[in-house]
Structure 1
Amino acid sequence: MTMPRTRSFVQVDVFCTGPYSGNPVAVVLDGTDLTDEEMQRLARWTNLSETTFVLPPTAPAADYRLRIFTPRGELPFAGHPTLGSARAWLDGGGTPRDADRIVQECGAGLVTVRRDEDTLSFAAPPRVREGALDNEYLHRITAAFGIARDRVVAHQWVDNGPGWAVLQLPTAEEVLALEPDLSLIPDAMVGAIGAHPDGHPYRFEMRTFAPAVDVPEDPACGSMNAAVGQWLTSTGAAPSSYRVSQGARLGRAASIEITADPDGTVWVRGAATIRIRGTITL
């Protein structure tokens, strides 16, 4: 067990459109010498969708290494913790090798983060699983969502580490109306996306449910939006640049911007604002 000491600690509001409107992430800016068990215990205690720990890098090209924990376990990658931890690292005096980009090392490898004025964006990592869902899993999800199979426009594995799958529904209204019974899919990491009508400021509405890691619904999910962005832009189902709204059913107002470069790289952009700054004894 580590001898407790004072460490820098911040809480960052990610993908926010105003104060306390996004998804918070807790960041311990010096996770050196903490055990896996100590990191997991804090993540259970904060009870946020993710708690992260910044460590010295082991890869020569990285600026820092990040470990990401949910209340139940560790993830190789997650989106809003990537942006929130980058903001915390910069605020804590971190200096990247390249002035315009930060390189994060995590379980999924190296992830590039760009600084764009007041926002940050990360390059979506490669998907480790893609393709249509099998009929049995699709049936379990539609049953949990309480919808008929014919309301599913498309479905896909969009797994870049956490295990995500997604269902595309005809409209944002149908996504917002979902009242899922997550007891029917306790091991799932699944989302639903649907289009807003023409003229709406956002192209899509997203909701993400993660009962597998004890997060019933995530207010704003960068990793899901990253992989869904890769899927939709590569198939022509979405333009190369669009915005997603998320969190309305949880009283949030998150804004996530997706941009696909000509070479296929997908960037996930959003605000990341520090709301709490202090110390923690670990």
Structure 2
Amino acid sequence: MTGEGRRFVQVDVFGSQALAGNPVAVVVDADGLTDIEMERFARWTNLSETTFLLPPTDPAADYRLRIFTPGGELPFAGHPTLGSAHAWLRSGGVRRSTDAVVQQCGVGLVELRTDGDRLAFAAPPLLHSGAADEETTARAADSLRIRRDEVLAAEWVDNGPGWLAVLLGSAEEVLALRPDFGSMKGLKVGVVAPQTHDHDADFEVRAFVPDLGIPEDPVTGSLNAGLAMWLIGSGRAADHYVAAQGTAIGRSGRVHVDRNGDRYWIGGETRTVIEGSVAF
């Protein structure tokens, strides 16, 4: 590895307060790093995602982003998108447009906007959608250690990571889950249910990705983006709602969803927690 120091920040994303969301590690000056160096650093941070800011190769983009989990690279992920945009802006990034920040990543161009004190990204199109087949649905139920008849619906909401969404009847059912991660091999399962009591959120969400070394992700932008398209499109959610995530593991994530025409905006708070340099 090369020995020079590179700017580094760690950003908390989607937290309803400080240190309540999902952290992402961002190497700001990543130009020149090799794939192996990026992979090693992502394994070393051991966070759900580590990102690397690079000069864009698309003239329409403000920057290019590569996203790694401890288990490999992703074409897109939501909380790293918000956290990396936050880091890029704070490090002096100058956007080409006054209206938006444009990120280039594995799924193409992703637009971001400022939403009050929050950042929000435009949900990328789904690569795989539609109802899951019965075999997959039953396998997902088994891996969640619930009966098949407790699954009200199961839908592919894949915008890059490969999400399978499972709808349950209540937030209490979601929070009670104790998955069998061995049975979940090959699946990335997001679980959602409406809140049935007075709450500051409308839905409760959990995300399980054991194949990528992430048994439970604290707060997941890509999953919530896919869920928004499904829940709103099927009439299960209003055009504007808030999802809670991370409750079961001691976080208080809040994801703000806003449909405007045919675009779905996924927003949340972003806060710099660690700032300095990293030597490769």
Query: How far apart are residue 100 of structure 1 and its match?
Result: 3.0
How big is each residue's C-alpha offset from its partner over 1:133-167, in whole Å with a ceiling of 9 and x where there is no partner? 12222111111111111111111000000010010
| 1:277 alignment partner in structure 2 | 275
Q: 1:266 aligns with which of 242, 261, 264?
A: 264
Query: For the residues of structure 1 that align with 2:223 and 2:207, how far apart are their CA atoms?
Result: 8
Q: What is the percentage of aligned positions where both structures have the same residue?
A: 51
Query: What is the 5 A alignment of 1:59-138?
Result: 59-138=58-137
Residues 60-91 of structure 1: per-residue CA shift (max 9 Å, x gap) = 11000000000010000000000000000011
**Equivalent pair of 2:65/2:105 in contact (CA under 8 Å):** yes
Deviation digits for residues 177-204 of structure 1 (CA, Å, limit 9, x no counterpart): 0000111112221110011025422110
Matches within 5 A, 1:132-211: 132-197=131-196, 199-211=198-210
Larger deviation, residues 42-51 vs 199-208: 199-208
Cα distance in structure 1, aligned partners of 2:250 and 2:166: 22
Q: Distance in 1 between matches of 2:96 and 2:256?
A: 26
**Amino acid across the alignment from 1:209:** F
Corresponding residue number in structure 2 for 1:233 = 232
Matched, 1:250 2:245: no
Aligned partners of 1:142 and 1:221: how far apart in 2? 21
Report how far residue 271 of structure 1 moved: 0.3
Counterpart for residue 7 of structure 2: 8
Give the superposition deviation at 1:46.
0.3
In the alignment, the residues of structure 2 paired with residue 244 and residue 7 of structure 1 have an alpha-carbon distance, to the nearest angstrom, of 35
Q: Which amino acid aligns with 1:10?
A: V
Aligned to 1:224: 223
5+ long unaligned stretches in structure 1: none
The 5 Å alignment of 1:23-34 reads: 23-34=22-33
Bigger mean CA offset, 132-141 vs 265-274: 132-141
State the secondary structure of the residue aligned to 1:182: coil
TM-score, scaled relative to structure 1: 0.97
Where does the alignment leave 5 or more consecutive residues of structure 2 unmatched?
none
Question: Would the aligned equivalents of 2:2 and 2:279 in 1 still touch at CA under 8 Å?
Answer: no
TM-score when normalising by structure 2:
0.98
1:211-253 Cα shifts (integer Å, max 9, x gaps): 1211000000000000110111112111101000000111100
Secondary structure, counterpart of 2:236 in structure 1: coil
CA displacement at 1:4 relative to structure 2: 2.3
